[in-house]
Each structure stands twice: as C-alpha cells, then as structure tokens.
Structure 1
Amino acid sequence: MGRKSIAKKRKEKSKKVEQWTQAILPKLKRTDLGNLTMDDLALLMNKSKSTIYEYFTTKEEVFEYITQVRINRLYDYKNEITSEILQLNYEYETLATILTEGAKDISAFYLKQLQKHYPTAWKIIEDFMQDLLEDLRQFYVYGIKNNLFKPISVDLMIKLDQYFILQLITDDAFFSNSKETLESTIKDYMFLKFEGLMK
C-alpha cells in the first residue's frame, strides 16, 4: 500500500511573487501554453522549481493567479467611470487607459491559448468582461439620458462591444495580418466609439 500524499501548505503570495509572475507575460506572447511545464515556468520566472512550489501547486494555479492579479487592476475602471459620470465630465480616455494597461504585454495569441488550455483562468477574464458589458450598458443609458451621447441604440452598442470584447481579443489571425497590438486596437476602438458617440 502506497503512502498518501500530504497536501503541503503554500506560502502567502507577496508583492514580489506578483511582480515575478507578471514579468513573464511578455515572454508568453507567442508561446503554446499547453506545452509548458513547471520547469519551463520556473525558467521563465528565473526561479527554482522548488520556489514556485512554495506558492503554487499546479500550472493552472499559476495562470489563475497571473490572470486574477491583472483583472484586479482592471476593476479600477469602475471607480474611474462612476466618479466621472456623476460629475457629467466623462472622457473616454480614462476607460481606454485602464483597458490598455490591462492588455499591456498580452497578445491575442496568449489569450486564445489561455482560453484553450486554462479554462479556470479564462473564466476570470470572462466574468470581468461580462461585468464590463453590463456597466457599459448602464453607462450608455446614463449618457443618452443626460444628453452626453447621441440617442443611438444601446443594444447595438452592446452587441459591438460584445464582439470586440469576447471575440476580437482572441482573434490571433486578425492581429497577425494587421500588425496591430491588443493595446493599440483597444485605443483605436475606444476612440472611434466615443468620438462618434459624443454630441
């Protein structure tokens, strides 16, 4: 009869762990995440495998953590938008800046790989996107009602956002052919949408 494995208690993740896990994102822009091993991740993070195991049990846990840290930063957009709307002083650059910060060092290829190989990490992004879409809906309604935006179809705007947010960001073929980055595409999209909406 074999020995039972004992679940080892992991260390609390510090700001340093956050930094060295986030630092690998630029290195993963064109990497097949399905082929990565814990050895590969340790090498990319410039840490020993034993150090990685002090904080994480699996690769899935590593990618969940990396994703959650980035998404937590993105949730800042809520406070920014709310304060500006209440002052009737909204500028689209605020939201564009927050979203481009969220996309920094990330490619559509990476996001597609995450969606394919690490569904629990992708679910964190998906949940955020759904929250964003709901907030945008309320934002459009509020903007039209308060004469900030032209009176156009809120449903149409949300449909366009839904395509952009849930499909285009993982469309690696689009980015490969256009030579655009995720960051520049977000900026352009926000400019086209909000400059067109403004009265």
Structure 2
Amino acid sequence: MGRKSILKNRKEKNQKVEQWTLAILPKLKTADLGELTMDDLALLMKKSKSTIYQYFTTKEEIFEYITQVRIDYLYTYKNQITEEILKLDYKCETLGRILMEGAKDVSSFFLRQLQEHYPTAWKIIEEFLCALLEDLKQFYTLGIENNIFKPISSELLVKLDEYFIRQLITDDNFFDQTEETLESIMRDYMFLKFEGLKK
C-alpha cells in the first residue's frame, strides 16, 4: 500500500496535466485497473507521486479526470452533429468519426475495467452515450421523414446502436478472438449501417 495523500488544496489542472494524463491511455489497454497503485500511475505518467498529488487526491479522481477530458472532446463533435442533423446537412462519416475518436487509444478491456472498478468515471461515459443515442434517434427520424433513409423503424435502429455501443465496447472476449481494434470495429459498424440505410 502506498501512502495516502494528505488532504489539501489541489492545483488547478491545466493543458500540461491533460496531456500527461491522457498519454497513459495506450498503456492501460491491458492493465488491470483495480490492481494499479498511485506508484504505478506515477510511473506510467513519468511523474513523481508528489507531482501527481499536487493535482489529484485518489486514483478514482485520475480516472474520472481522464474520462471527463475525453468525453468533453467528444461533446464538441456531438454538438456539431446535432446542428447538422437539424439542418439536414449531415454526413454519416461524421458520426463514425465521433465513435472512432472515442475509441482511439482505448481497448474494450480498459472500458470493462473502468466499468468494474471506477463507476463514477463510467457514469460520465454512460451519460454521453445516452445523449448520443438520443441524437441518433432524432437523426434517423428526420432522415426517414425527409426520404434520405429507407423507411425503417427508428426505434429498432436506436436499439441496435444501444446494443452495439453498450455491449460490444466492453466485450473484451470478442476482441480476443479478432485482430480488429475497438476503433476499426466502430468504423466498420458505421459504414455497414449507413450504407444499408441510404436510399
């Protein structure tokens, strides 16, 4: 067990902190997050533990921060898409780009570990996915009403997305049986879906 951090005011996180925390994501693809210590995280970030404790109190706080920064980045894409959907000026590739950006440097094993060990960080992802699924439903409905897509049930389309996004992204057994990455599976899924929907 490492030493507990002493409760004190933390420094405000800046762009440098964002960079060195996000830089560990590729190193966590196969890591058991429940076993990681602050010493392990300091080593991965190439920072001293005292530097880390200037900004973070616990491991949970580190994972919440990493997750929030990534999700905030994805919200900028999602907000652009919402505007495009409402104007019916939408490219299907844009949505694929959101999901691929979200999956970059992340494995399904990492996401499952996050879900199991850091529920507050996972909740940030869940809230984003709920908002994204709502946008997708609106997108399908408008696309069908405006004769851009085939007349298919928008509820069914969203249910398929929900299953794909919520189940597959944490199914590391699936990825153990294929050479595909989470990012490439997202790209293929979006391609198949939208090519099939187009009139």
Q: TM-score range by the shorter chain?
A: over 0.9
CA drift of 1:7 comes to 2.9
Q: What code does the residue aligned with 2:62 have?
A: V
1:137 and 2:137 equivalent?
Answer: yes
TM-score w.r.t. length of structure 2: 0.94
- Give the whole-Å Cα distance in 2 for the aligned partners of 1:74 and 1:133: 14
Q: What code does the residue aligned with 1:173 have?
A: N
User: Equivalent residue for 2:168?
Assistant: 168
1:69 and 2:91 equivalent?
Answer: no
User: Equivalent residue for 1:179?
Assistant: 179
- Give the whole-Å Cα distance in 1 for the aligned partners of 2:48 and 2:128: 32
- Give the whole-Å Cα distance in 2 for the aligned partners of 1:133 and 1:41: 33
Identity %: 73
What are the within-5 Å matches in structure 2 for residues 5-16 of structure 1? 7-16=7-16
CA root-mean-square deviation = 1.3
- 1:82-122 CA deviation, whole Å, 9 max, x = no partner? 33334433211111112211111000000000001001000
* SS of residue in 1 equivalent to 2:169: helix
- Give the whole-Å Cα distance in 1 for the aligned partners of 2:76 and 2:144: 24
1:119 and 2:112 equivalent?
Answer: no
* SS of residue in 2 equivalent to 1:90: coil
How many aligned residue pairs are there? 195
- 1:43-98 CA deviation, whole Å, 9 max, x = no partner? 00000000000000000000000000000011123232233334433211111112
TM-score w.r.t. length of structure 1: 0.94
User: Equivalent residue for 1:36?
Assistant: 36
- Give the whole-Å Cα distance in 1 for the aligned partners of 2:6 and 2:169: 40
Q: Unpaired runs of 5+ in structure 1?
A: none
What are the within-5 Å matches in structure 2 for residues 55-94 of structure 1? 55-94=55-94
Q: Is the 8 A contact 2:82 2:135 kept in 1?
A: no
Q: Which runs of 4+ in 1 moved over 4 A?
A: none
* SS of residue in 2 equivalent to 1:151: coil
